[in-house]
């Protein structure tokens, strides 16, 4: 198996790592794309638009009430979709800039409030979250 080199380290992050004696750069982790939020909202918007388009003509004189009701659902789901897109790295450059750079003796976290540096020897407690995922065939990953 071929070992891939870690992505290039920005000069300002390299300077911070050197100032805190973090050692060699090991890996970079990008922010989550939040597709678990965006895709369901997009599907719900499409679903309610289709339902409104199909049921409104069949409702007869009550089509306006039906269209307003489903239109309000579409507006809510559109708001959720826009929120998911705006706060995801797919659209926002500020969110895209948030990363974690891992080094031999610590890490640099670029977050909403700036850059945080943490050395491994300064960590007192580690919390672990175990997540088990099942595939469509029932096997564990």
What SS3 state is found at 115? strand
Burial class (CB in 10 A: 0-12, 13-18, 19+), 100: middle
Q: What is the pLDDT, as a whole number, of residue 88?
A: 76
Q: Give the C-alpha separation, 47 to 91, whole Å.
A: 24
Q: Packing angle between helix 35-58 and helix 63-86, nearest 10 degrees? A: 170
Q: State the pTM of this model.
A: 0.58
Q: Give the C-alpha separation, 23 to 137, whole Å.
A: 43
Could you read off the pLDDT tens digit of each residue along the chain, which spans 141 residues?
Answer: 344 455 678 888 888 888 988 888 888 888 777 777 778 877 877 887 787 777 766 666 676 777 777 778 778 878 877 887 787 777 777 777 778 889 999 989 888 788 888 898 888 887 877 777 776 676 665
111-121: b (≥16 Cβ within 10 Å) or e: eeeeeebeeee
Tokens of 107: 């890490």
Q: Give the C-alpha separation, 127 to 130, whole Å.
A: 10
Q: Give the C-alpha separation, 87 to 33, whole Å.
A: 9
């Amino acid at each position: 198996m071929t070992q891939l080199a870690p992505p290039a380290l920005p000069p300002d992050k390299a300077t911070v790592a050197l100032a805190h004696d973090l050692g060699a750069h090991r890996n970079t982790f990008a922010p989550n794309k939040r597709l678990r939020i965006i895709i369901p909202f997009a599907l719900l918007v499409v679903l309610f638009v289709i339902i409104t388009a199909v049921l409104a003509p069949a409702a007869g004189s009550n089509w306006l009430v039906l269209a307003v009701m489903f239109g309000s659902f579409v507006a809510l789901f559109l708001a959720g979709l826009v929120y998911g897109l705006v706060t995801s790295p797919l659209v926002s450059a500020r969110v895209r800039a948030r990363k974690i750079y891992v080094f031999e003796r610590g890490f640099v976290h670029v977050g909403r409030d700036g850059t945080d540096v943490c050395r491994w020897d300064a960590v007192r407690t580690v919390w672990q979250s175990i997540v088990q995922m099942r595939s469509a065939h029932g096997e564990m990953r």
